[in-house]
Amino acid sequence: MEIRHIRYFIAVAEELHFGRAANRLNISQPPLSQQISQLEKEMDVILLKRSKRHVELTEAGKLFLERSYEIMNLLEKGIEDTRRVHIGEFGQLKVGFTGILNSILIRLYQYYRSKQSQNELVLHHLSSNKQVESLQEKKIQIGFICPPIDTEILNFRLIGDARFIAALPRNHPLANDSSPLDIKELKNEPFVLPPRNIEPGYYDTILSMCHKSGFTPKVSQEAEGIYNVLTFVAANMGVSLVTTMAKERTIPDVVYRDLTGEIPKMELYLVWMKSDENEPIVRNFLNLVDEWVDSENKTINS
What confidence category does residue 249 fall into, taking pLDDT thresholds of 50, 70 and 90? confident
Q: CATH number of the domain at 3-86, out of 3.60.9.10, 2.40.160.20, 3.40.50.10490, 1.10.10.10?
A: 1.10.10.10
Mean pLDDT of the 18-35 span: 90
What's residue 1's pLDDT? 79
Of 173, 178, 165, nearest to 189 by C-alpha is: 173
What confidence category does residue 298 fall into, taking pLDDT thresholds of 50, 70 and 90? low
Q: How large a percentage of the chain has pLDDT more than 90?
A: 44
What confidence category does residue 87 fall into, taking pLDDT thresholds of 50, 70 and 90? low
Q: What's the CATH fold of domain 91-302?
A: D-Maltodextrin-Binding Protein; domain 2 (3.40.190)
Q: How large a percentage of the chain has pLDDT more than 70?
A: 94
The domain spans of the chain are 3-86, 91-302
pLDDT tens per residue across span 182-235: 999 999 999 999 999 888 888 999 999 999 999 999 999 999 888 899 999 999
pTM above 0.85, yes or no: no
